[in-house]
Amino acid sequence: MRIALITPEPGHPLLAATTALLGQGHEVEAVDPAAVDVLPGPLADVYLLKSRTPRALALARDLAARGAAVLNSPAATALCQDRLAMAELAGRAGLPFAATRAYASATVLADDPDVALPVVVKSHHSRRHDLVARADDRVQLRALAAEWADEPVVAQEFTPNSGWDHKLWVIGEQVFAALRRSELSPGGRGPTRSLPLAELPPGWAELALRVGEVFALDVYGVDIIDAGGAAPLIVDINAFPGVRGQLGAPEALAELALRAGKK
C-alpha cells in the first residue's frame, strides 16, 4: 500500500513513529504542500492531511476531487479553522460548546459596550500563532485591540474553571487524554501529562467520539474544561493535532491509514 503524508514536518514525533510502523511492508512518502500545487501521476491509496495551510487544503481538495482518500477531509479540516462555524455546528448538534460571538475586528470588540468581562478572545480563523487571550477588564481588552486592531475575532464567554484543559485526542475510534495547564491561566501554559481514560469524568470520552461524528473527523483533538460538577464545556476542536507522548497513538494512526487505504 502507498501512503502519503501531506505535511511540511514529516519528522513530527507522531508522524515519524507512524512512518516507521507503516514502512514495514508499505511505501510511505511525505509531500510538502509548500513545494507543490498538484501531484501528478497515480494516486496514493490514502493521504494523511497534517497541515492546515491554504496550499495544503488546495492540494487536498484537488486530490479528493480526483477520488483520493484524504484524512481528514479538506472540508472537515477547513471547518475546524472557522471558530464561529465550529461553534454554530456544535450548537446545532447539541454539543456543550462555549458561547461564541464573532466580531469584524478586535477593535470592534473593544468598542462593544455590552461585551461581558472577563472574556476569551480568539482569532476568528484558527492558525499558527493566532490570537488566544483572556481579557479581564477594559484596559486589557483595549490593549489586545491595539496589538490586533484589524484581526477578525470571536469572543467566548469565560467560564470559571480549575485552569486545566483536558486534552482529548481521537484517532479512528481510540481516545487518548491528557491534562495541560491552560495558556489562559495566570501562570501560562505548563507541561502536558497523560491522563488514563479511567480518570476522565463519566461520558467525556463518549463526548469526544460524538464530536468526530458531528464534524466528520478521523484524527482530531477536543479541548474540554470542567465547567463545574464535571460538566464538560468544549472550548476548541482541532483537526489532526500534534499528539505527543501518547502510548499507542502511532499504532492507532497506522491502523487507521491502512483501513482507509483499503476502502
pLDDT in tens, 91-107: 999 999 999 999 999 99
| CB-based burial label for 153 (10 Å; 0-12, 13-18, 19+) | buried
Q: Which of 108, 116, 114 is nearest to 144 (CA)?
A: 108
pLDDT digits over 13-39, tens only? 999 999 999 999 999 999 999 998 888
Q: What percent of the chain has pLDDT over 90?
A: 83
Report the DSSP beta bridge partners of residue 102.
154
Residues 26, 235: Cα–Cα separation, whole Å:
38
Q: Is the pLDDT of residue 259 over 80?
A: yes
With b for 16 or more beta-carbon neighbours within 10 A and e for fewer, the 104-138 pattern comes to ebbbebbeeeebeebbbbbbbbbeeeebebbbeee
| CB-based burial label for 173 (10 Å; 0-12, 13-18, 19+) | exposed
- The answer for residues whose C-beta is within 8 angstroms of residue 235's C-beta and 6 or more apart is 97, 98, 120, 156, 165, 223, 224, 225
* Mean pLDDT of the 75-79 span: 97
CA 197 vs CA 87, 119, 174, 231: distances in Å: 26, 30, 11, 16
- Taking CA 83 as the corner, what is the angle to CA 217 and CA 121, rounded to the nearest 5 degrees? 140
Which residue type is seen at 89? L
Q: Which three cell numbers stand for residue 39?
A: 501531484
pTM of the model: 0.92
* Mean pLDDT of the 241-249 span: 89
Cβ neighbours of 96 (radius 10 Å): 13
Task: Provide the pLDDT for residue 242.
Answer: 85
Task: Provide the pLDDT for residue 188.
Answer: 61
pLDDT digits over 45-54, tens only? 999 999 999 9
Q: Which of 40, 33, 74, 65 is nearest to 218 (CA)?
A: 74
